[in-house]
Amino acid sequence: MRLNILSKTDNPLIVCEHVSCTYGNAPVLHDVYLKINRREFVGIVGPSGSGKTTLLKAIIGSQPVAHGSITIEPHLTIGYVPQVETVDWYFPVTVEEVIVMTRAKTKWWPRITTTERTAVREVLEKLGIADVAHRHIRELSGGQQQRVFLARAMFCQPDILVLDEPTSGVDVRTRHEILHLLADLHQDGLTILLTTHDLNGLAAHLPRLVCFNKTVLADGNPREVLTSQVLEATYGAPMEVLEHGGMPLVIDHGRVAMRGEGK
């Protein structure tokens, strides 16, 4: 596993320096510094409204940056997986059509070609959902929905996957499957950046964690980052961190959040 973020073989794909964004007059991001290297697996955690999604959108270029700069390695292909809640599930498209969309820039012919059909099948098989290609997107389970959009992001062979809350709204088993899937993709050499609010089920398993609330409050290995001081600064509420099976376990308000069955 490549966990060391400060290794000498740094190969930054994305560098955010002093990045600030505003909605109207309200600052959403303030003086963000973040560097993502090739082959890293980074999770951003923070409460809702902390600007996690805005940061991702600034990185992918759909949110204008007010101050500072975001440097992206030239010719970098980003595969973006939006939050499932933001998808219009009533839109009249099949799974296959959704996945092929990413070729819109290079292909104009309206019909899906045989080559594309094969490529779609391959990526769906890789994600274990080969049978849903011709289904309408509303006829999918929560886990399948997440995988379809993961498949779409994978379809253009990205250098980096950017996922917004990949485990929101899915059950424990699906969350587990998604985490394994992402770990496998990372193992295959993909760089992954995701946001999550799931501290124990997802964040604690990642090699690198960024605690975020409008700005970067802590950045490093979960063991170093998941402390009650950092979490209180991030969430604005007292939190306790225990150790369980060699992993940090976050407890908020005395209520034990279920930890995903560890790997």
What are the DSSP E strand ranges found in the chain?
A: 12-23, 26-37, 41-45, 67-72, 78-81, 160-164, 191-196, 208-212, 216-220, 239-244, 247-252, 255-256
Judged by beta carbon, residue 99 or residue 182, the one nearer other proteins is 99
Nearest to 150 by CA among 182, 196, 177, 180: 182
> CB of residue 142 vs other proteins: minimum separation in angstroms?
16
Judged by beta carbon, residue 107 or residue 173, the one nearer other proteins is 107
Judged by beta carbon, residue 6 or residue 26, the one nearer other proteins is 26
For other proteins, the binding residues (CB under 8 A) are: 23-24, 57, 60-62, 78, 80, 82, 87-88, 91-94, 97-98, 100-105, 107-108, 110, 136, 138, 152, 156
Q: Classify burial at 187, counting beta carbons within 10 Å of its beta carbon; exposed 0-12, middle 13-18, buried 19 or more.
A: exposed
> CB of residue 80 vs other proteins: minimum separation in angstroms?
5
Judged by beta carbon, residue 6 or residue 104, the one nearer other proteins is 104
> CB of residue 32 vs other proteins: minimum separation in angstroms?
19
What are the DSSP E strand ranges found in 114-238?
A: 160-164, 191-196, 208-212, 216-220
> CB of residue 106 vs other proteins: minimum separation in angstroms?
9
